Amino acid sequence: MVYMRDYFFSVLNSNRVVALLLVTSLAACGRSPVDQVVNYDIEYPPEDGGTMIDATRGEPGGLITMIAGDAAASAVSQNIFNSLLRYDKNLEFEGELAESWQISPDQRVITFKLKPDLKWADGKPLTSADVLFTWQLLTDDKTRTPYGSDYKLVIKAETPDARTFRVTYAEPYAPAVNSWAGMDVLPKHLLEGQDINNTPFARNPVGSHYYKLEKWRPGEQISLVRNTLSTQGPARIDRLVSRFIPDEASQFLELMANNIDTMALSPVQYARIFPARPELQQKFALYKELGNSYTYLGFNLKRKPFNDIRVRKAINYAINKQELIDGVLLGMGEPVASPYKPGTRWTNPNLSPYSYDPARARELLREAGFKDTNGDGILERNGKPLTFEILTNQNKQREMSAVLVQRRLKEVGIDVKIRVLEWASFIGRFIKTGDFDMVLLGWQLAIDPDQYAIWHSSQQAPGQFNFIGYKNQRVDRLLERGRMELNPDKRMKIYHEFAEILLEDSPIVYLFAGYGLQAMHKRIKGIDNPAPPKGIGHNSQDWYIPRPLRRTEISQ
Amino acid sequence: MKRALSNPLALSGFIIISGIFLLALFAPLIAPYDPDAIDVKAILLNPSSIHLMGTDGLGRDVFSRMLFGARISLLVGLVAVGIATAIGIVLGAIAGYYRGWVDVVIMRTVDVMLSIPTFFLILAVIAFLTPSIWNIMIVIGLTSWMGVTRLVRAEFLSLRNREFVMASETLGASDKRLIFKHLLPNSMTPVIVSSVLGVASAVLIESGLSFLGLGVQAPQASWGNILTDGKEYIQFAWWLSLFPGFAILITVLGYNLFGEGLRDVYDPRSSKSR
């Protein structure tokens, strides 16, 4: 037995076995054997050319994002199509197809002026008629898209001339500006008279951005090639290849085998595997971006005792957020105190999360009338023990968070059970029916601050997003005002106040926001580090691959 | 029993199982740490003299969790098989003794149950119930009695035509006396063998369910859910996958050896040597 154990230790403890496997697999793929000795840390001047390969989890359903709606589709099509506006690296609006835009004094009319001489990749001119055409498609009831609602609020869209596009709203609608940064403008001359739901264009698109489709090999990959007529000027890298690799573990193996250049990492890969492997550090640079979502513990506010603010606050004080970040994310995240990306305009800098203060938590619970009368370590009120169930879905990070929360709540005398459910039954049986005590879930950290759908008291019907039953008249007013205010500075004040009330009310406990973690092969130069709020992708057109660092490419 | 343990297969199986039983029984005394004690400063540590089997993603001591997990695995195995065997004996005895339409109904039910893949049936049932250790034991028990039923029925059919049974029937023995004095005691051997083998498969099913997140719920440890936790870290935290996997393997092997050994000893038809 001892012998056995030592044997296992010695074999599995060494990374040499894995490294050896990798070397053989590299050789087998016919990749350049010099790969091992190239020094990727040398700086080179920018130059054009080369191929960058990334991976998507699935194959896009098509490349018209309003129809396809999957993550893989938008990952590819964001390099093909333009919107009127976009976010700059600090998440402020700037023109993309639009040279400028103006909001009328009554905040109901937005007028976009397009840049001069815009062209589609096939050489035809891109005009305001194309923008109008795309808006008509998006708002047409025959178009099967989930993204139409924001655009349907436009009561009049017009094109006074070829470079002007003007939209009128019935009343001011602040998220509108954001919506014009999300509409991929499509070519009218190729799509007019076609059924947008089933058009061959979806697999053979013509756009106006840095790249155009080169070849789509079903089940394998999509390759894009530089669009010389790009409306945004030329990009440096010649070709972008997106391979379809559904499994994260296989993606990671492909990354290490030098078959893809970049992938999103898990905290474990980022904080444990890479630091332990010098040969990976030689080849890959790691980047940390602001996360896209936060994880929270939400209370069913319609149930006792969660309608009591003291209980909610007590639970908030009882949970150690830093411990969650260290344990679940291996330190790769930060606590949040408002539902916005940390460090961006909408985040109220004066707010800080509830500290970890179990004494305060016990104090608050005592005030609320809970006492341990029978000495079992669990508090009671009127003979009823303080015991709940945390519901969450099958997600490793959430399950681990629930276990940590469970332990901390036990320390202040709250008995918590954990129930992990598969997503469909979780939503169908518990969320829609409101049959839960606490949920451990996540919300997106969207760029636009409007959170009407999540927090407004009118949004509590089954299937709507305010399923925790939050109702606060001041918050309702602020959310309504925030939607009507297009001036960014005034809007900011509104949402700062909103976040402050939300924190004080504690309808949810903010647990953490994880960072977006990215590994990128060092052959790709010109990437901003540290990443700006928008993420490293904001200047991808300036990325370049110096000739000596390129893969040996097999011409087809 | 002595005869059984003279068989090397049965003996080695017996030693393995008793070893694991002792470890599980004395888990609170042996375990160096509280199996649920979280320590975020000691996440994913390598096995060492401080943490014999390393620590998991929340800094819990894997060795302690393995010991307490053993209790779950063994308990599930025994209770589930107990339920299955009880149902199997009752139905098999009724079918084999009374024959006729009762027999037809019971045996066709067995055929129907056998035609459904057990694991997926269990998955479907658990999806409707709350996953908990008790539900799992009951569900495994309720879906694995068919083999025992067939065995008992077959034994009854053949025993009923033996001289000593016919003799006591002729002497006017009651159904009750026939069943409990003559038929049942003489058909127990294959049942015991199949039960021992059944424990092995119940241990596997529990591990499988916990691995899929439908078994024993957090934070309680079971070998299956330690294994699931390990899946995510398999590229560098090998100890999280190896130890529970190995424990499951050894336990199942132990029960199988013991069961096969018993069969060799007691079942004249299958034995190669005595």
pLDDT, mean of residues B60-83:
92
Asked if the model's pLDDT at residue A24 lies above 70, the reply is: no
User: What's A232's DSSP letter?
Assistant: T
Confidence at A14, pLDDT banded by 50, 70, 90: very low
Q: How far is B181 from chain A (nearest CA, A)?
A: 46
CB pairs under 8 A between A and B: 57
Contact A403 B127 (CB under 8 A): no
- The single-letter code of the amino acid at B142 is L
Asked if the model's pLDDT at residue A145 lies above 90, the reply is: no
- Give me the residues of A, 329-348, that contact B with CB < 8 A: 330
Report CA dihedral (B235, B237, B242, B244) to the nearest 10 degrees.
-120
Confidence at A19, pLDDT banded by 50, 70, 90: very low
3-state class (DSSP) for residue A363: helix
User: Which among A266, A323, A406 has the least Cβ separation from residue B219?
Assistant: A406
CB atoms within 10 A of CB B249: 11
Show the DSSP H helices in A464-512 as ranges: 473-484, 488-505
Beta strand pairing call for A164-169 and A211-217: unpaired
Q: Which residues of A264-295 are buried (b: 16+ CB within 10 A; e: fewer)?
A: bbbbbbbbbbbeebeebeebbbbbbbbbbebb
- Give me the residues of A, 380-399, that contact B with CB < 8 A: 394, 396, 399
Contact A419 B219 (CB under 8 A): no
3-state class (DSSP) for residue A312: helix
CB B110 within 8 A of CB B149: yes
- Alpha-carbon gap, residue A387 to A481, rounded angstroms: 39
The answer to whether A484 contacts chain B (CB < 8 Å) is no
The answer to whether B233 contacts chain A (CB < 8 Å) is yes
Confidence at A15, pLDDT banded by 50, 70, 90: very low
Q: How far is A275 from chain B (nearest CA, A)?
A: 12
Q: Which residues from chain B sit within 8 angstroms of residue A268, using beta carbons?
A: 232-233
Q: Beta-strand (E) ranges in A259-366?
A: 262-264, 284-289, 293-299, 333-334
pTM of the prediction? 0.79
User: Which among B40, B217, B232 has the least Cβ separation from residue A420?
Assistant: B217
Q: Measured between alpha carbons, how far apart are the two ends of chain A, in Å?
A: 56
3-state class (DSSP) for residue A121: coil
CB B263 within 8 A of CB B273: no
- Give me the residues of A, 294-323, that contact B with CB < 8 A: 323
Q: Which residue has the tokens 């020094």?
A: A39
Q: How far is A327 from chain B (nearest CA, A)?
A: 5
Q: Which residues from chain A sit within 8 angstroms of residue B219, using beta carbons?
A: 403, 406-407, 418
Contact A327 B47 (CB under 8 A): no
Q: How far is A426 from chain B (nearest CA, A)?
A: 11
User: Which among A266, A273, A403 has the least Cβ separation from residue B236?
Assistant: A273
Q: Which residues of A386-399 are buried (b: 16+ CB within 10 A; e: fewer)?
A: bebebbbbebbbbb
Bridge partner residues of A51 (DSSP): A239
The mean of the pLDDT values for chain A is 88
| 3-state per-residue secondary structure call for chain B | CHHHHHCHHHHHHHHHHHHHHHHHHCHHHHCCCCCCCCCHHHCCCCCCCCCCCCECCCCCEHHHHHHHHHHHHHHHHHHHHHHHHHHHHHHHHHHHHHCHHHHHHHHHHHHHHHHCCHHHHHHHHHHHCCCCHHHHHHHHHHCCCHHHHHHHHHHHHHHHCCHHHHHHHHCCCCHHHHHHHHHHHHHHHHHHHHHHHHHHHHHHHHHHHHHCCCCCCCCCCCHHHHHHHHHHCCCCCCHHHHHHHHHHHHHHHHHHHHHHHHHHHHCCCCCCCC
User: Which among B47, B233, B238 has the least Cβ separation from residue A268?
Assistant: B233
- Alpha-carbon gap, residue A542 to A125, rounded angstroms: 25
Q: Which residues from chain B sit within 8 angstroms of residue A248, using beta carbons?
A: none
The mean of the pLDDT values for chain B is 87
Tell me what pLDDT residue A463 has.
82
Torsion sign (Cα): A337, A342, A347, A352: positive
Tell me what pLDDT residue A17 has.
37
- Give me the residues of B, 94-123, that contact A with CB < 8 A: none
Tell me what pLDDT residue B228 has.
82
User: Which among A9, A400, A418 has the least Cβ separation from residue B58?
Assistant: A400
CB A365 within 8 A of CB A318: no
Supply A404's token pair: 């940590």
Q: Which residues from chain B sit within 8 angstroms of residue A323, using beta carbons?
A: 40
The answer to whether A407 contacts chain B (CB < 8 Å) is yes
Q: How far is B69 from chain A (nearest CA, A)?
A: 17
Tell me what pLDDT residue A179 has.
92
The answer to whether A422 contacts chain B (CB < 8 Å) is yes
User: Which among A13, A249, A330 has the least Cβ separation from residue B43?
Assistant: A330
Counting every residue written for chain B, the total comes to: 274
Contact B127 A268 (CB under 8 A): no
Confidence at A18, pLDDT banded by 50, 70, 90: very low
Taking only the tens place, the pLDDT of each residue in A34-79 is 445 678 888 899 999 999 999 998 899 899 988 887 788 889 999 9
Tell me what pLDDT residue A227 has.
94
Point out the least confidently predicted range of A292-296, A498-502, B182-186: B182-186
Q: Which residues have a Cβ under 8 Å from the Cβ of A367 and sit 6 or more positions away? A: A310
The answer to whether A7 contacts chain B (CB < 8 Å) is no
Nearest to A110 by CA among A84, A133, A130: A84
A91: left (phi over 0), alpha (psi -120 to 50) or beta: left
Tell me what pLDDT residue A183 has.
93
Point out the least confidently predicted range of A176-180, A448-452, B31-35, B264-268: B264-268
Tell me what pLDDT residue B273 has.
46
Confidence at A98, pLDDT banded by 50, 70, 90: very high
Taking only the tens place, the pLDDT of each residue in A104-138 is 999 999 999 999 999 999 999 999 999 999 999 99
The answer to whether B49 contacts chain A (CB < 8 Å) is no
Supply B93's token pair: 């005895």
Taking only the tens place, the pLDDT of each residue in A238-260 is 999 999 998 888 898 899 888 99
Bridge partner residues of A168 (DSSP): A109, A156
Asked if the model's pLDDT at residue A394 lies above 90, the reply is: no
Asked if the model's pLDDT at residue A518 lies above 50, the reply is: yes
Nearest to B221 by CA among B79, B49, B63, B21: B63
Q: Which residues from chain B sit within 8 angstroms of residue A418, using beta carbons?
A: 217-219
- The helix-helix angle for B184-211 and B146-160 (nearest 10°) equals 170
Beta strand pairing call for A284-289 and A516-521: antiparallel
Question: Taking the mean position of all CA atoms in its chain, how far away is CA A538?
Answer: 15
Q: Which residues have a Cβ under 8 Å from the Cβ of A556 and sit 6 or more positions away? A: none
Q: How far is B78 from chain A (nearest CA, A)?
A: 26
Q: Which residues from chain A sit within 8 angstroms of residue B40, using beta carbons?
A: 323, 326-327, 404
Taking only the tens place, the pLDDT of each residue in A204-239 is 999 999 999 999 999 999 999 999 999 999 999 999
Confidence at B186, pLDDT banded by 50, 70, 90: confident
Q: Which residues from chain A sit within 8 angstroms of residue B128, using beta carbons?
A: none
Model-level ipTM above the cut of 0.90: no
CB atoms within 10 A of CB A94: 12
Point out the least confidently predicted range of A274-288, A401-415, B212-226: B212-226
Topology (CATH) of B2-30+52-272? MetI-like fold (1.10.3720)
pLDDT, mean of residues B191-216:
85
Q: How far is A269 from chain B (nearest CA, A)?
A: 9
pLDDT, mean of residues B82-103:
93
Asked if the model's pLDDT at residue A272 lies above 90, the reply is: no
CB A480 within 8 A of CB A458: no
B-chain residue closest to A275, CA distance: B236
Segments making up each domain of chain B, as ranges = 2-30+52-272
The answer to whether A264 contacts chain B (CB < 8 Å) is no
pLDDT, mean of residues B123-143:
84
The answer to whether A421 contacts chain B (CB < 8 Å) is no
B-chain residue closest to A268, CA distance: B233
Q: How far is B209 from chain A (nearest CA, A)?
A: 13
Which of A1, A10, A11, A396 is the best residue to mutate to test the B interface, defined by the most B CB atoms within 10 Å of its own CB?
A: A396
- Alpha-carbon gap, residue B246 to A293, rounded angstroms: 38
Question: Taking the mean position of all CA atoms in its chain, how far away is CA B160?
Answer: 30
Q: Which helix (H) or strand (E) holds A188?
A: helix A188-191
Tell me what pLDDT residue A7 has.
36
pLDDT, mean of residues A286-307:
92
Contact B218 A330 (CB under 8 A): no
Q: Which residues from chain A sit within 8 angstroms of residue B36, using beta carbons?
A: 407
The answer to whether B44 contacts chain A (CB < 8 Å) is yes
Tell me what pLDDT residue A481 has.
93
- Give me the residues of B, 159-188, that contact A with CB < 8 A: none
Asked if the model's pLDDT at residue A32 lies above 60, the reply is: no
Confidence at A358, pLDDT banded by 50, 70, 90: very high
Tell me what pLDDT residue A312 has.
96
The answer to whether B40 contacts chain A (CB < 8 Å) is yes
Point out the least confidently predicted range of A119-133, A164-178, B226-240: B226-240
Nearest to A15 by CA among B246, B232, B237, B231: B237
Bridge partner residues of A241 (DSSP): A53, A223
CB B201 within 8 A of CB B16: no
Supply B163's token pair: 């001289």
A-chain residue closest to B210, CA distance: A420
